[in-house]
Amino acid sequence: MSIIDSLRPAPGLRVLISAGASGIGAAIALAFRETGARVHVCDIDRLALDRMAREAPEITSSMADASVPEDVARVFDDVEGALGGLDVLINNVGIAGPTGALQDLQRGDWERTVAVNLHSQFYFAQRAIPLLKRSQANPSLIAMSSVAGRLGYPFRTPYASTKWAIVGLMKSLAIELGPHGVRVNAILPGTVEGERMNSVIGARAATAGVSVEAMRAEYLRKISLRRMVTLDDVAAMALFLCSPAARNLTGQAISVDGNMEYL
């Protein structure tokens, strides 16, 4: 195999992506499909799953709340039926959680953020590990964290806390699973360009009483490259981490963020 060929995941990989019907998850799902992978996604959003089914009918799917262990168990039943095993898990589920000073947050909002962002990582990894150990295809687990998993994030403490915890989980699992040939890494996306970010910038601009252009410039000043990343930037990193070229990469928290300097 040439160096160039090694940069592409092997065709036929069996891939599960949680929260895979929209956003980053969908971009990763479609990218793996282009490499010839067999892809299964799960999502809590029925409309997004239906849209994925129309756009990529070869991608199988399950509807599930990733914070509910029984739902996760059903996802893996579906995966066994559709794929017959697993070579790659992309643990992608996450919510933004509440915004506000810690002393003002509601306990239920904290607990929901932890349940979705962190407990789901445990539920999916626990179910996937026996399947990944049986894989002979350079098995890989990718945990989706965030730039908020390496920087402090004032007034977003529940979100940041879970994203830091995901990095700790990943690094510990990399040590546990290394002797079994299973690699574990985390991707830390930064500010992702798109409609969601445009809405955030518009809302922040209105609140601050400044123009949208001024608020966008404020966001870009935090990034060394002075540009946001795209969904495809994150998907490309996921493909690389599952390629033969990354066969000795494990235990790494890899930022895809243009070097976000602060939040």
Task: Establish how many alpha carbons lie within 13 A of residue 150's alpha carbon, considering only the half-sphere containing its beta carbon.
Answer: 19
Residue tagged active-site, from 123, 153, 159, 262: 159
**What are the tokens at 90?**
């992309």
* DSSP-derived pairing of the beta strands 140-144 and 60-63: unpaired
The answer to whether 90 and 185 are in contact (CB under 8 A) is: no
Catalytic residue list contains 123:
no
**What are the tokens at 251?**
């235990």
Beta strand extents in 19-139 (DSSP E only): 38-43, 60-63, 88-91
Nearest residue to 128 via CA among 75, 89, 163? 89
**What are the tokens at 43?**
């999502």
Give me the long-range contacts of 2-5 (CB less than 8 A, separation at least 24).
3/245, 5/244
Q: Active-site residues: which are they?
A: 159
